[in-house]
Every structure is written in structure tokens, then in C-alpha cells.
Amino acid sequence: MDRLIAVRYRFTSLLCFLLLGLAPCWAKAAEPTSPLVPHGFEKFGSRWVFPDEIDLKRDLDSLDEVVRRTVTLKRQIELAAAENREHWQMQQSTNKLIDEIAAAMRRNAVGTDEEKKVQKQIDQLKKASRELRDGVAPDRLGGQPHMRAMLESLTLMHQKAAVLIARVTSQHEEIQQQYQQLPQEVSSWIAQHEETKVGPLFSPEQVDQANRKALAAICLNQVPLFLHGKQKRIGVVLNDQFPSIVTVEANADRLFLTSNMAFSAGLKKLGPLESVNLPDGHSTKVRFGELPLLRLGSATLQNVPVAVLQPSDEHLGGILGLKMLQAWNPHFAESGISLSLDSDNQVSTASK
């Protein structure tokens, strides 16, 4: 009898186990078939979204991180520039005082054995003044190793932000189109199943707010400017994807790109070789073409005429003539470490 009871108990337990295992399958079979997966949706947390929305979230997170790092770096640069300006002004005041004292001493020492001794003492005082305060002229600050390193990092952050803002805007527009173009059967299914959370992850207002916050925090109308020897260098973005460093020429009216820059930006339709003079007077041959888009800080230039250098001139680097900008009124900041742009315009065409 006990053995029979034990067998029945085991059989009942096994039957319950099987029934419990089959219950989810029955429940799943009872659910209506979802059209979400066949139409490109995937599960992200508790919500069904398009894969592009996950990429958009990553880019928005990256943009927020770039903004955070940029704000910190800008503060360091501003403090370094302010400290240098203070030291430079003190140094100039000290040198002026030394010169006044020196003039008085020379008047009394002219024609005597003391003249050389006085001049030596003056030179020693000026040297001590420079070493004590270690300031440099503002227009040379961007060439100092520590400042150049920070400005190059800031340039990279600016370029990353510009690329991310452009990509976020483009991605969100494409995502909106995907939702607008959903088949009627999918839209109806979503409306009938309110318990199923379906994107979008971000509203147009959220994306716009993220972009405006980034633009305000980074201040893209102040373009980092650093020195390479005597050349003033800035960062630009070609076709919203390809960051490049170019030399600024205030009196030139063209954009010169190296062959590598042109290749990276996808420029293929180039004209025949033509002779031109570079801003420094050097004569060379280039091929002319047109760049669809150029970003310089907050300035967006469309359909920009470019002159592409030959591979043998790669060492010359890219050159941006500021006279090419029509509406942005660029000017060098007093600090000597940035190029200021008129930010009233958001889109400008380059001069032809």
C-alpha cells in the first residue's frame, strides 16, 4: 500500500511539473502575434524601439560627456589665459619701471666706467623680472606647450561635439520618418495594445534641448586657435564627419585641402590641374572642386569651393582663408587663443 501511494505521489508530482512547464507556452500561444519584430523593432528595457533609437541614445550620452569634459577644459584654459595676462601685465609694468630707472642711471653714468656696469645690472633686472613672472605676449600664448596641448584637446572636443550634434539631428529626423511610414496594420496593433510600450525613446523637444544645451555650454562661436610655429591653426569638420586641422590666413579667400583631406571627405569630381599662388606666395598646381558642407565652430558653410593640393604638397597642410566667410565676421580674440564668430547666422554660404 505504501509503495502504491509513493508511486501515485511521484506520478502526480511529475504531472504537475509538466503542466507548469507547458503553461507559459499555452499563454504565449494565446497571445496575438506581434508585428513589431518583423517590422524592425527590438526590445530595449521595457520598450520596443527601432535599432537607430539605441544608437541615438548612445550619441546623446556621448554628447553629454563631451560637453562635460569641454566645460572643464574651457575653465582650465580661461584660468591659464587670465593668469598669463596678469603676469604679462605685471612684467610689462616692471620692465617700464626698470627702463625709467635705467634712463636716469645712464644719464649719470654716460662717459664713465660705470656705464657698462649699469647696463649689466639693468639686463640682470629684466631677466629676473621675466623668470619671476613667466608671462608671454597674448598673441604667443597659443604656442606655449602646455597651452597648445589644451587648445588641441579643446579643438578635438569641439569637433566631436559638431559631429555628434549633426549626427543626432540627422538620426532623429530619420527615426521620425520611420514612425511616420509604419504600415497601418502596425499602427493599429500598437493602438490596440496600450500595455505594450512602443517608442520613440526621445521626443523632438528632448533632442532639440540636448543640442541647444551643448551649443550653449561649449560656445561653438569661440573657435580654439593655437600656434604651429608662426602659423595659426584651427579645427574644421568636412562634410559633418571628417575633423581636420587647417592654417588660418586672414587675408586669403580660399579653402585649400590636402589630397588626403579631400579623399577622406569624399571629393571625387575635381577639375584639371591649374596653377595658383598660395597665401605665402608659393606657386603650385591644384584641382578645383566643391565641398558640400564645412563646419567651423558655429558656422555652417554650404557648397564651398575648394582647391585640392597635389600629393607632393601634402606637407603644406590645409589652409582656410577667412575672407571666404561672408556673414560670420570672424576676428581674432584679444586673448590670442580663439577666433570669434558672429553667431547670429546659423547657415552661411561661402563666397565664390
Q: Which region, left, alpha or beta, applies to residue 210 given φ > 0 means left and ψ of -120 to 50 means alpha?
A: alpha
- pLDDT tens by residue, 278-297: 988 889 999 999 999 998 98
Q: Does domain 221-352 have CATH number 2.40.70.10?
A: yes
Which of 161, 299, 152, 331 lies closest to 233 in space, CA to CA?
A: 152
Which DSSP state fits 280? T
- Torsion angles phi and psi, residue 223, rounded to 5: -85, 125
Cell digits for 149? 596641448
- pLDDT tens by residue, 223-279: 999 888 888 999 999 988 899 999 999 888 899 999 999 999 999 889 999 999 998
Residue 342 in this model has a pLDDT that exceeds 80: no
- Record the pTM: 0.75
In this predicted structure, what is the pLDDT of residue 22? 46
Which residues have CB under 8 Å from 257's CB, separation 6+? 238, 244, 265, 267, 291, 306, 307, 308, 309, 318
pLDDT band at 71 (very low <50, low <70, confident <90, very high): very high
Spatial separation of the C-alpha atoms in residues 163 and 63, rounded to whole Å: 9
Mean pLDDT of 22-50: 69
